[in-house]
A and B are shown apart, each in its own frame.
Chain A
Amino acid sequence: MLNSIDINKIREEFPVLNQEVNGFPLVYFDNAATSQKPTEVLEALNGYYRGYNSNVHRGAHTLAAKATDAFEATREKVRDFVGAAHTEEIIFTKGTTEAINLVAYSYGRAFIKEGDEIMISAMEHHSNIVPWQVLCEEKGAVLKIIPVSSEGELDYEAFENLLSEKTKFVAVVHVSNSLGTVNDVQRIIAAAKKVGAKVLLDGAQSSPHFNIDVQALDCDFYVFSGHKIYGPTGIGALYGKKEILEAMPPFLGGGEMIKEVTFAKTTYNELPYKFEAGTPNIGDTVALKNAIEFIERIGKDNIADHENSLLLYATEKMRAIPGIRLVGTAKNKVSVISFLMEGVHHFDLGMMLDARGIAIRTGHHCTQPLMNEFGIDGTARLSLAVYNTKEEIDTFVKALSNIANRFSKQKQKIS
């Protein structure tokens, strides 16, 4: 377990945290949207562009070899990060969204047929809804939705009842970005396997918080974004089981992804290059390795312990404020808290907190169907990372209480 001294040390590694916003010390509670980056990631980016920027896999020169080595070293690091068996099972993408689209286009166009069923849940991010809707429309397949309870948990019995031999694909969020719910993906995967459906896990919000082992999970695909795990924007990864990736047609055509091109016929490159057409995002890929090394150095268990204690602390303090309603009270949660304040719209709340230097997110969090299920148009959400502290939560809770007081007084005046 980390003590506060360690957290202060960690904070020193994040230059962006050390600033005032609107005259107050920044409290950054919007980590589910994107996390901040430690110095080693910034230096890796700088070091790449200053030291060995070159195109990968092509040049016959020293810098190109260095860039290629660094690029491929990140692939190996990501393999280890998700617990994959083979390095070529890691495909670099722009992030979660592109990775899901890759699977929906490539796997979906090749293997989904009319009348097949694809299952997602009611708590998906739009990026795990829209690609499947498009696919279903094109193929005449049917999209089925796993319902969610008022606590924000999936209804596993309903899921199992929806499953049939028609179910060909299940794409679910591992951890909800709006509610923080950790879904029982073991149960989902086991049940899906029984009917022969493939399973994709949207790991955008699980990858920052706890250890991932795709082999133990036995999922077919796992996707995540580098920018949510202390890495750069514009880089993420798709893990896919080798035999499935091999059977899938390329997603984009161009350089890098070919073995031989004639006007009569093109043969495709091997995994993973088959899915990486064009010059990749080399600099950000290189620095992603440093982000994962940062996480390894702190230790995912330590990160989870610290975040969990922050979650409990913040939840308890927020429950004590009159007029606050928590949205999403699942038993198993990561450090994401969605909430509403009676009589105050979340947009207004966000602006008032921002005026105090507190950054939270407000709105539907790209999960409009979920918000509709709850009959609301959005929430205010704080999402905590390893560098957040109890003191910051105190600052936040105090600001929130002041706003609550102000508005309850106003209501009394009116009534």
Chain B
Amino acid sequence: MSTSEIQEEIIDEFSILEGDRENTIFYIMELGEKLSALEDSAKVEDNIIKGCQSKVWLTTDFNEGKVVFKADSNTAITKGLISLLIRVLNKKTPDEIIDTDLYFIQKIGMNQLIGSQRSNGLTAMIKQMKMYALAYKAKADN
């Protein structure tokens, strides 16, 4: 599936929640629970995304030209948020990751739901994922 197809799928799923705040929060937390946990050895300072209120650890791998993301968080909602980003950007080429406009975040009303402080955290997560993609691209180009 392309990144926009995945985003459309997410927008569809969230539309069922009809903007109910509590159900949306629970749904995001459930999504986070499905994300496989990071092994403790990866939960180190170096993997922490700076700019998030919660702790978020992100690791990557580069496999057959595609970036594999793994992440975890100490809070369930944040883990759900990063699971959504991973769902869209995982196992894509660096170019796809760099070029993807993550419009689903606006569409599902995420910024209103999580408030400006967490929105900044979400922006930091996206930035970090794109930075990794850029780095792999640079490496591949060399």
* Chain A positions near chain B (C-beta within 8 angstroms): 22-23, 344-345, 347-348, 351-352, 354-356, 363, 377, 410
Whether A345 pairs with B76 at a CB distance below 8 angstroms is: yes
Give bound CA distance, A26 to B85, whole Å.
33
Q: Quick check: B21 and A345 within 8 Å, CB to CB?
A: no
B21/A347 in contact, CB under 8 A: no
**Closest residue of chain B to A344, judged by CB?**
B76
Inter-subunit contact A347/B75 (CB<8 Å): yes
CA–CA, A196 and B34, complex, Å: 62
Q: How far is the CB of B127 from chain A (nearest CB, A)?
A: 21
- Asked, given contacts A345-B54, A347-B53, A348-B29, whether A355 binds B76 with beta carbons under 8 Å apart, the answer is no
Establish whether residues B74 and A355, one from each chain, have CB atoms under 8 Å apart when the complex forms: no
Contacts of B21 in A (CB 8 A): 22-23, 354-355
Interface centre among A348, A352, A355, A356 (most CB of B within 10 A): A348
In the complex, are the beta carbons of B54 and A347 less than 8 A apart? Answer: yes
Q: Determine chain B's interface SS by DSSP, over half rule.
A: helix
Return B98 CB to nearest CB of chain A, in Å.
30
Q: Which B residue sits closest to A414, measured CB to CB?
A: B33
Given contacts A351-B25, A351-B114, A352-B26, 17 further A-B contacts (CB under 8 A): A22-B21, A22-B22, A23-B21, A345-B54, A347-B53, A347-B75, A347-B77, A347-B78, A348-B29, A348-B75, A348-B77, A352-B25, A354-B21, A355-B25, A356-B22, A377-B74, A410-B33
* Docked complex Cα distance between A355 and B113 (Å): 9
Q: Shortest beta-carbon distance, B115 to chain A, in Å?
A: 9
Q: What is the CB-to-nearest-CB distance from B93 to chain A, in angstroms, rounded to a whole number?
A: 34
Chain B: CB-nearest residue to A345: B75
Closest Cβ of chain A to B124, distance in Å, is 16
Residue contact B22 to A352, C-beta cutoff 8 Å: yes
Tell me which residues from 8 to 52 in chain B have a Cβ below 8 Å from any Cβ of chain A.
21-22, 25-26, 29, 33
Q: How far is the CB of B48 from chain A (nearest CB, A)?
A: 13
Count chain A CB atoms within 10 A of each CB in B21, B26, B53 and give the residue with the most. Answer: B21
Q: Looking across the interface, which residue of chain B has its beta carbon closest to that of A22?
A: B21
Give the Cβ gap from B60 to chain A, nearest Cβ, in Å: 25
Contact size range, B: 10 to 19
Chain A residues, CB < 8 A from B114 = 351
A303 to B52, CA, bound (A): 39
Q: How far is the CA of A354 from the CA of B33 in the complex (A)?
A: 21
* A363-B54 Cα distance, complex, nearest whole Å: 10
Closest to B73 in A: A345
Q: In the assembled complex, how far is the CB of residue A137 from the closest CB belonging to chain B, in whole angstroms?
A: 26
Inter-chain contact B22/A348, CB cutoff 8 Å: no
Smallest CB gap from B22: residue in A: A355
* Whole-angstrom CA separation of A97 from B25 in the bound complex: 35
Q: In the assembled complex, how far is the CB of residue B8 from the closest CB belonging to chain A, in whole angstroms? A: 26
The smallest C-beta distance from B103 to any residue of chain A, in angstroms, reads 24
A399, closest chain B residue (CB) = B22
In the complex, chain B residues whose CB is within 8 Å of the CB of A355: 21-22, 25
Roughly how many angstroms separate A347 CA and B75 CA in the complex, as a whole number?
A: 7
- Measured CA separation A345–B74 after assembly (Å): 7
Q: Which A residues touch B25, using CB under 8 A?
A: 351-352, 355
Question: What is the CB-to-nearest-CB distance from A215 to chain B, in angstroms, rounded to a whole number?
Answer: 43
Q: List 17 A-B contacts (CB under 8 A).
A: A22-B22, A23-B21, A345-B54, A347-B54, A347-B75, A347-B77, A348-B29, A348-B75, A348-B77, A351-B77, A351-B114, A352-B22, A352-B26, A355-B25, A363-B53, A377-B74, A410-B33
Q: Which residues 99-115 of B have a CB within 8 angstroms of A?
A: 114
Q: B90 → chain A, closest Cβ, in Å?
A: 24
Bound-state CA distance A377–B114 (Å) is 20
In the assembled complex, the CB of B23 is this many whole angstroms from the nearest CB of chain A, namely 9
Which residues of chain A have C-beta atoms less than 8 A from B75's C-beta? Answer: 345, 347-348
Closest residue to B74 on the A side, CB-wise? Answer: A345
Q: When chains A and B are docked, how far (Å) is the Cα of A363 from the Cα of B53?
A: 9
List, in ascending order, chain B residues with CB within 8 A of A348's CB: 29, 75-77
Smallest CB-CB A-B distances: 5 pairs: A355-B22, A345-B75, A355-B21, A347-B75, A348-B76
Contacts of A352 in B (CB 8 A): 22, 25-26
Closest to A346 in B: B75
Chain B residues near A363 (CB, 8 Å)?
53
The closest CB in chain B to the CB of A356 belongs to B22
Contacts of A377 in B (CB 8 A): 74
Question: How far in angstroms is the closest Cβ of chain B from A125?
Answer: 19
